[in-house]
Homo-oligomer: A and B are copies of this chain.
Amino acid sequence: MLNRFASPISSLLDARADGHSLPAGLYTRDDVFEADLDVFFMRHWIYVGLECEVPEAGDAVVIDIGKISVILLRDDENEIRVVRNVCRHRGARILDAGPTVVSKLVCPYHQWTYELDGALSYAPHMGKDFDKSCRSLKPVQFKSIGGLIYICLADEAPKDIETLDEVMRARLAPYDLRNAKVAHQVDVIEEGNWKLTMENNRECYHCSANHPELCVSFVDLDFGFDPESLSAEDREQAEAHFAIYAERTKAWEADGFPSATVEQVRDCETNFRTQRLIIAGAGESQTEDATAASSKLLGKMTRKDLGDTHLWGHNSWNHFMGDHAVTAMVIPLSADKTLVRTKWLVHKDAVEGVDYDLHKLTHVWIETTNQDADLVARSQAGVSDPAYEPGPYSRFSERALDDFATWYIDRMRAHGY
């Protein structure tokens, strides 16, 4: 007879063995999915968009996070605001998902009207004694880090977002993301749990066999390898590569561009890693030939040789390069479905067809994301099979997955699971 009572989530957390992938239920169960949404998407800072998506007063973009919908907008004072997209009357959605321009926020149902700061200014049929002051749109805590918008949906937000802010402020400044624009956006729904999406992103062990386009500019060695498996020749090349790294990092830092690795991935609330990575080949950008896709560089950049400032969060990954940036947001849709929204940023004045070619700009990460979607679906199918048992991570190239799994377990426990 099947055990008809599902084990509590805590016993799945207990069952996790160091250095191994997670027990199946943590990837597949609906109750774990709900707990994940609660812990990692309600109670931690999540990345949801960019200041440059709402450059002018009245610009707004609606972002759905599961059943939650928020409006990121710029108010009449040119300040960023984030509010819940739920009318305070009978709860109707005020705006549809996606970008728009508004002068006020008017609920289409009964025309309750909110100012851009969220205050209710008009509520027909409610009588003159109706107190509008307690019916503002609910505000959402947010933080802009170099133009990247992070929100926290809980009242008590993790304080160690400050470390991320401190580390990234200087690193992101030259890219001046507030004066970038989204040249392209693609949504891919991966048929897998969001943690498999994140695990897949945190290793490059799978790159050489699966990502031919990315491997032109990306050096998989940077994310770990087994030194004893290398031939004498390969070892020599690897040593040369890491010597160049040390030298290049030193030179970049000397020029005022912070480059060294900073990781906050265990024993913390806000999970991130950043490092300035070398771009292979032509060395400029993650394109098919590793040369820049946009002739107009980002922000105040004057050089194309500053590599790739990569930034991981627990629901995002980003690559900031001289000519463009690629930024991905991850939103769980169900235990086995995850939205990956990828945006390509260029200088706000760059003109498609003149300064950049859209295909060249987007090709590598469109292909890479599709390839990853296939791998994630394959993983989800496997971990859902009763034959699955947690397997060993490579101590060379899957260390970041072990960190992530450990952080995941710790954060679940910290929230009472």
Contact = CB atoms under 8 A, between A and B. Distances in A.
Chain A interface secondary structure, helix, strand, loop or mixed?
loop
A127 interface: yes
Interface stretch (A245-253, A268-276, A379-387): A379-387
A159 interface: no
A209 B124 CA distance: 12
B391 A89 contact: yes
Q: Which of A34, A90, A91, A125 has the most CB of B within 10 A?
A: A90
Contact of A385 (B42, B69, B394, B416): B69
Interface stretch (A177-185, A225-233, A342-350, A357-365): A225-233
A205 B391 contact: no
A91 B108 CA distance: 47
Interface stretch (A50-58, A80-88, A285-293, A305-313): A80-88
A119 interface: no
B35 A209 contact: no
Interface residues of A, number: 68
Interface string A303-340: 00000000000000000000000000000000000000
A91 B382 contact: yes
Contacts of A109: 206, 210, 375, 378-379
A383 B4 contact: no
Q: Which of A1, A35, A385 has the most CB of B within 10 A?
A: A385
Contact of A92 (B69, B89, B378): B378
Interface string A20-33: 01001000000100
B125 A91 contact: no
Interface in A180-225: 199, 205-206, 209-210, 224-225
B382 A86 contact: yes
A86 B387 contact: yes
B127 A226 contact: yes
Question: How many copies of this kind of chain does the complex include?
Answer: 3
A110 interface: yes
Interface in A48-96: 67-69, 84-93
A90 B128 contact: no
A388 interface: yes
Contact of A210 (B88, B108, B224): B108
A391 B130 CA distance: 12
A413 to B, nearest CB: 10
A38 B135 CA distance: 36
Contact of A2 (B35, B67, B89, B90): B35
Contact of A93 (B4, B87, B378): B378
A13 B363 CA distance: 54
A281 interface: no
Contacts of A34: 2
A396 B1 contact: no
A385 B91 contact: yes
Nearest to A42: B386
A417 interface: yes
Contacts of A4: 31
Contact of A91 (B126, B205, B379, B396): B379
Contacts of A100: none
A384 B417 contact: no
A397 interface: yes
A138 interface: yes
A391 B110 CA distance: 13
18 contacts: A2-B35, A21-B90, A68-B387, A87-B382, A87-B391, A90-B379, A90-B382, A91-B389, A91-B391, A92-B378, A93-B378, A108-B210, A108-B378, A110-B206, A110-B209, A125-B205, A126-B226, A138-B387
